[in-house]
Structures are given as structure tokens and as C-alpha cells.
Amino acid sequence: MLLTGIAFYIFAAVLVAAAVMVISAKNPVHSVLYLIVCFFNAAGLFVLMGAEFVAMILVIVYVGAVAVLFLFVVMMLDINFQELRQGFLQYLPIGGLIGLVLAIELLLIVGTWVIAPETSAVAAAPSPAIDAVTNTEALGRIMYTQYVYAFQASGLILLVAMIGAIVLTLRSREGVRKQSITQQVQRKREEVLAVRKVPTRGGV
């Protein structure tokens, strides 16, 4: 029990520190790398909670696909981040308002736990219908029965995000020479080949 508590505090401390570095790092590539550290530590917390399936999904999907996709998109897109930071102050009131709303929601959740502590025990109680199955099977039953439409909608959102990233990466740029296979195949011999009679010792 003591080892579990020590591991929890280590994972939580590193997670909070990496999350702060994600939003405070000046280099966007460094922010994505700190985000990967956040995902790994969050996976460790899920393992301590007994949700090993969610932990593996967090590592495989978010670290292996989403975070790497963020990294490649940030590296491939030619974005001037200095210009983006120039209008930071004009969005500060909106950001402060959103932060205030989130803080109020968190206070309401904590207040509910303090006023009615029995609600957390009811929410954490295992369901008798899925008590006899494994964690992965129980999650699959809930995801593909009760929340199947939300699951499909999230898949469509990720598909649209992937298409948007591809479109932004493959945008047309001036002065970049590209290879056109169709034009190369449709070329005629007269357009690319010229036969010249060169006199002896005359050169081309």
C-alpha cells in the first residue's frame, strides 16, 4: 500500500509538471514532447486504478498516433508562431472567462463530494451485470451498446481532423517544383528528343 501511494504521488507530480510545461514551452515541438510525457504518466495512474485497458489505449492510441501526428503536423506546417503570439492579450479575457467557468465546475464537484459523500461511493460501486467479466470485456460491452453512437461520432470527428491535417500539409506553394507522372507519361518523343548531325571534330 505504501508503494502504491509513493507511485501515485510520483506519477501525479510529473504529470502536473509536464502539463504546465505543455502550455508554457515556447517551442511547439517541445510542447508536444511534454504532452507525450503527460500521456505516459496518466497511463501509470490508470494502471494504479486498475484500468489497465484504458492505460494501454492511452499509450498506444494517444502517444503512438495522436501525439506523433501533432508532432509531424507542427514540424511540417510553416507557421510563424511569433505572429500568433502577438494577439495574445486580446484573447486573454475570453481565456480568463473559460478558466473561471472550469474552476466553478471543479468547485461544484468538490462541494458535492463534501456535502454528500455517499454519491461518490454509489458512482464507484461495481455494476452487478458486469461484475463477473474482465475490465476489457465490461468496457467493450458498455462502449458498443450504450454509447455506440457517441463512439461512432468520435470516430467521424477524428476522421475529419485527419483529412484537415492532410489538406493543410498538401497545400499549394509557389516556387516548389513537383513531379507530375501524368505529364511525363503523355510526353512525345519529338518534345524531349532531338537528333543532330555533328560534323567530325566540330563538337555539338
C-alpha closest to that of 31 among 73, 90, 78, 92 = 73
- Pair 18, 37: CB distance under 8 Å: yes
Residue 161 has pLDDT above 60, yes or no: yes
- Pair 33, 74: CB distance under 8 Å: no
For the whole model, what pTM was predicted? 0.54
Which pLDDT score is estimated for 72? 74
Span 123-154, pLDDT tens digits:
555 555 545 677 778 888 888 888 899 989 99
DSSP secondary structure letter of residue 63: I
Which pLDDT score is estimated for 86? 67
- Pair 37, 14: CB distance under 8 Å: yes
Span 9-47, pLDDT tens digits:
899 999 999 999 988 887 777 888 888 889 899 998 888
